[in-house]
Each structure stands twice: as C-alpha cells, then as structure tokens.
A = this chain, B = another copy of it.
C-alpha cells in the first residue's frame, strides 16, 4: 500500500496513520523524495483502504501487491519522463539514443565524439572514467580529472553527460560534472551505493545485474526511490547463459515486461548486451521493436584502437547508419 501524504501533513497526522497501520499488522516506511511524501505499507492484513484515504493529511492511497512499491505501475500508471534540461527528455515517447566511448581516453577523443554527436543531434554522451575491471592489473580509467575534462567539453555543446559511479564515496565529487549517474551490472545490488544515490537530485540509470532477475532490478530501483530520488531509468544490458556465440544474451523480453510492471523508462544497452560489434545495430533496432525508451551504445572514431571493449564498439559510419534506421523505425511505430 502506498499512502501519498499532503505537502503540509503534520507529524501528529503521520503518527495517527502509522498507528492505524500498526494495528492492521502493517510495517510502514516513511519516504520523502524530492517531489513528495509517502508512507509505504508492507505486508499487513486486509484493510479497507477507503478508511485510510479519509484520514487527515492523506492525499491518496493505492494498493500495490508487487514486492516493490514506489516503482510499480500499480501505483503510478503514467510513465515517468526524465528531464535532463535543455530540452533533453527520456521516456516521452521518442527513442533516445545515447552514445560514446567505453572509456574516456583523452581530450582529442572527447572532442571528436562530441563533434560527431552534435552533427547527428544526439544529446547524451556516455563515457567511463571509473572502470570496473575483472583484473586488478587492467586500466581502471582516467578518474575524476578525466570526468572534468569530458564534462567541460560536452557542455560546450549542450550534450548531457552520463558516466558510471562505482562507490558511494565517489558520488559527491562527481556531482558537478555529471547529468546522470550510471550504476553498472556488478553494482546492481550494492545497497550502500543505491541508498546514497537516493539522496542525490540527479537521475540514475540502473543496470540489471549480470544474472539479476527483473524483480531484483525493480527492488534495487525501489532502494533509490525510497531514499528520495524518483528519477530512475532501468537498463537491460545482457544476461549470462550457456550460449557462447556472443558475449551475453541481450534479454529484450525484459523490455515489455518492465514497461508493464513499472512507470520508469526502460533503456537497452546492445553494445554490452550482445557484445559483438557486427550485431549491435540489429539488436538496437530489435530493442525499439520491443518498445524501449532509449539505447546506450558504444562508439569510437577508430573502434579497433579503443582502449577497452573494442570488440563491441561501432565506428562513426556504423553509428550514423544506425541513427537513420532508428528514425525510419520510429516513424513507422508511432
């Protein structure tokens, strides 16, 4: 059950609602986000919610049978639109293509990418500066200085910056230089990180775990939301399977499922998802067919020389051809 409280609800009123819930065997979590106050009721007895709805301080009340609550479509039917400013919106009915290199390498690379994105009208650029790497001996990214450089150049052209945060301790120092935080697959259940991202007023793109269930993904989103941040994007990025013909299995089944279960926008990452450059464009189009709100792809001026994940990175020409296919597809589907 989700009880939306009035903006001017008093502590006394909240106390009375809590007491009523307690009598019904309900747990209650009080949630204050950047745009609302809620009481989330957990697993109690059958109750006449109209009675709750009439209590002072209550604006609205909904039953939510899903284990996740505030991210559920049972509560909020209208899709959430993420507004990044300067006219950049995700989840508004158009498909948003976000692109950039796997790793930020140097200023020349960032300028070249920004130039290319500007020409194509792509408004969100990805690029890693803190890289999670299986081996401790691998390149781990340019770090905060790289992010500052990336951000400065991208903002000259009103391009929004999304980059991965690896640890709660990095959130604050990154804050001025990102427009959207990305949580990678390995951190999909790093609850300390999720808790802290709930306290920030910038959107969070949350990737599904490497073998994470969709229920776990939605519950991880609930961590962020219940800590105060309503602006979350869900991202399918490929799961592990027995099949060795590609790096991962991009699970597009997740797209219609998540769109039905949640009001949050759903993004697809075909680059990591299938992990094979030659197939990235086909899987991006497939994602649009499935109903995704956006895609996140890796591009590089010279993919063969990319500092990481060269095997899945598109060239500028390939990316440009893909944007044309996306446009045709989008106009057909609307």
Chain B residue nearest in CB terms to A187:
B190
Are B136 and A222 neighbours in the complex by a CB distance under 8 Å? yes
CB neighbours of A79 from chain B (8 A): none
* Contact A169 to B189, CB < 8 A, known contacts A244-B213, A253-B274: no
The yes or no answer to A6 lying at the interface (CB within 8 A) is: no
Is the pair A132, B189 in contact by a Cβ cutoff of 8 Å? yes
Residue of A169, A244, A282, A288 with most partner-chain B CB within 10 A: A282
Supposing A137-B40, A210-B209, A242-B211 touch, asked if A253 and B190 sit within 8 A by C-beta, the answer is no
Q: How far is the CA of A213 from the CA of B249 in the complex (A)?
A: 12
Which B residues lie within 8 Å of A137 (CB)?
Answer: 27, 29, 40, 42, 69, 226
Instruction: Produce 1/0 per residue, A128-150, CB < 8 A to B.
Output: 00001111110000000000000
The interface size bin for chain A is: 35 or more
Across-interface contacts of A191 in B (CB, < 8 A): 132-133, 136, 166
* Docked-complex contact B242 and A283, CB < 8 angstroms: no
| CB-based closest 9 A-B pairs | A211-B211, A332-B332, A289-B289, A285-B289, A286-B290, A240-B242, A286-B289, A256-B282, A167-B192
Q: Contact residues of A with B, CB < 8 Å?
A: 27, 29, 40, 42, 67-69, 132-137, 166-169, 186-187, 189-192, 195, 209-216, 219-220, 222-223, 226-227, 239-246, 249-257, 260, 273-274, 276, 278-279, 282-283, 285-291, 325, 328-329, 331-333
